[in-house]
A = this chain, B = another copy of it.
Amino acid sequence: MMKSQIAKLGHVAIHTPDLEESLWFFNEVLGLQIVEQTNDTAYLRGQRDWEHHTLSITESGQKGVDHIAFRTSSADALSELADQFETNGTDVTYLDAGVESGQGEAIRIEKFGHPYEFYYDVEKPRAPEDQRSGLKNRNYTEAVANRIAPRRIDHVHVQDPSETATDHAVWLEDELGFRLNERYRAEDDELWGWWLAVTPLPHDIAIHREPPGSSEGFHHLSYHLDSLNELWSAADILSEHGIEPDGGPGRHAITRADFLYVSDPASGFRIELFAGPGYLNFEPDWEPIEWTEEDIGGETNHQWVGQGPAWDGLEYVN
């Protein structure tokens, strides 16, 4: 496996028509922590996220995703990546430190319609003292957290029209050094989905293919919980707030993780709460697993509790 210049998924930046309502959902209901709030933008993260934020929400009168950001493995890796993009003919936008709160210099590109950002320097503020864990390897204490309180950012899932989906996946493998863990081959014998990672997680980013002529879009951002029990407790808490999940709780065949989908009523932005066994892939010579409908469903029903109707993804705006 090629060593990637990317260390991890960093954050997603989104737009909302109503920041107050979005903060009700993300902070009060889900229990994400607010690190900083300016006039129009709030920066949030999970209980055990160390970076300044893993989600930023800007009130702009629009609904949609602004960009998806990956952190590089070093400052040099960021420069190398910029050079490599330029060499390959990809337009690179250079951002000064501080354009996003808590973040140093960054670069942005658009590939296959997706706005990607890369950065290395980032602040890692500890939780405020009255919310700080007594455990040095945790950030926020759970003693004052609500009963969902996602622990850390996990992955993103995006969608592409069939014209570009495969190229997008290949680009992530070839140019960015992602490892393809699993893929899904549809009944038309074409690939339909790709689960890719630079870490041992089952995926840091997944892509699925939409019909020809569709817009590319953003499907969901996932946060990790500690256990299946917490996932079900989350479904209880959402119910008590009068919020109906988009799907689940259930267990995926691909990635073998437990899931629950729920969307912010204000922005339409979808979160996948993620838990359970899943797997960690430490193999340096991994052969991608390929699934067909027959492998997953059929008589053996390895995928519990379907994800319901195909939901629309959010478009990119900025």
Interface residues of A (CB under 8 A from B): 1, 3, 7-8, 48, 50, 71-74, 120, 124, 133-138, 141-143, 145-147, 151-152, 181-182, 199-202, 226-230, 232-233, 235-245, 248-251, 253-256, 258, 276-277, 279-280, 282-284, 289-291, 295, 299-302, 304-305
Q: Are A151 and B284 within 8 A (Cβ)?
A: no
Q: Is the interface of A mostly helix, strand, loop or mixed?
A: loop
A64 CB to closest chain B CB (Å) equals: 25
**Set of chain B residues within 8 Å of A242, measured between Cβ atoms:** 134, 299-300
- Tell me whether A143 and B137 are in contact in the complex, defined as CB-CB below 8 angstroms, given that A235-B304, A284-B72 are known contacts: no
**Set of chain B residues within 8 Å of A241, measured between Cβ atoms:** 143
Q: Are A301 and B142 within 8 A (Cβ)?
A: no
A244 CB to closest chain B CB (Å) equals: 4
Q: Which 6 A-B pairs have the closest CB atoms?
A: A143-B240, A244-B301, A8-B282, A7-B284, A229-B229, A226-B277
CA distance A93 to B250 in the complex (A): 48
**Set of chain B residues within 8 Å of A136, measured between Cβ atoms:** 182, 289-291, 295
CA distance A239 to B298 in the complex (A): 10
**Set of chain B residues within 8 Å of A245, measured between Cβ atoms:** 301, 304
**Set of chain B residues within 8 Å of A304, measured between Cβ atoms:** 235, 239, 245, 249
Q: Among B7, B124, B290, B305, which residue has its beta carbon within 8 angstroms of that of A305? A: B305
